[in-house]
Structure 1
């Protein structure tokens, strides 16, 4: 009789809104705290164990980092009694937008938001989510003057503060060097086991989402680390299968892709349901929030 391998267990993260200019492209992208919370609840009910949360100015839809907006989202989720692991971004406040190619300085006021490590973590400190993301590196975005800025000194300080708060960092790696920086932070004693990382593929001008680059990234991850992976736009859903095949976990959501298929706008719940269908079709079982907490040694502080 053939010995069957145990079913592969994976968890799904839903990144519900992000900070990109997507609100004008889809009316399904949540903006207000109520909309963001409702989208988190729908995603969790569809099978997401983790919800990754940004907030936006409720009137304009532009990205924000106001702790009060995060608190409103979490209060609504708590009142719903729907269980999910809360994951806040800590990427806001590291944004530089340079001037023209000939006159890069002064920086443009619109889009530039550069603050210190402590201020970038105000919402994390005030609310204490189970997870917060740390963007592990600096890189160009788009075709203009925007640079996502995360120096090693700032990353060390943010990692140390998150560690002291007892919040699990999810280290987001947009390129191969970012993964090496994550390993360096771990070697500095600034990330506790089990280490959790996210491979962010296909974002200009980071690691492209071709198979060779993805395998180069996954082959460099220490064996005892837990990782998820995603790509953006039309490759988000194919990356559900690719992440599972590589031994990782899944991320979907409107932060990274607004379509279910060509010409059909998706909700966050739609994307999660599609990910569940794909993963279960590959013989996986989908982990719930409490199983994820147990596996990642997360501290649940509410519910």
Structure 2
């Protein structure tokens, strides 16, 4: 188990608990009361820490190496029903962007999302979840297929941003993302977007124009990462915590600003602490949201989606 810096008090208590249990097993000393007291202390400490997280601490949790990624969600939600589809029919198959058909219960969905890796080899293979233009074009191709057959779209967002490499720009990174935003705004099938980790910049927006935006409790959504913001404003990454607070990037901030529609609660300590419980919560949230959206006609669906984004923000004439 990996602990973040602010979780070290929990680590100390859990180590004390393990030592006490070991003593009880290896000797005839009754340590049951001590173990119960330590269990209560651990639970209280967890509640104290996780219910008072700063914006930067939530950013850290969203990047936790044990946190489930897009494929983990899809496998848990769909089981053996998921059929991955490949390629943009133009340039190639981007491994950072995955998509395909799957079922939650008896309802089919087109799942699309960025995939990071669990170790160095797979992170390189998946380009750290940073898609190239062909990834966004593949996503659009799948969305258009879903529209043709009347299948709702579920996008799972978890990216530090679109790939900023020279070759990506040469192949039209900006155009690909802009095209997706335009086409998604007019897509005549329900779109449910779920932020499961990092939601950074245009990389997230390229698959994030949904009828309903759901955001897990310990995730973030912003035009820029705290580190990059700090680097631009202060010429140093040292102010990333201040930048995280200023960017208003947490789920609570996004809900207050009416950028997202729902905060999905995570198990205490984050999605990685109890993945199965987290998967069930997300599945229920998707199903409930789709049951609301399927009542709308295609015309009403598009009109409401367009109005949703037109009304965002505050401005003066």
TM-score band (shorter)? 0.3 to 0.5
**Structure index of larger Rg:** 2
Q: TM-score, normalised by structure 2?
A: 0.37
Q: Report the structure, 1 or 2, having the larger helix content.
A: 2
Which one has a larger percent strand, Structure 1 or Structure 2? 1
- Structure 1 length normalisation: TM-score? 0.38
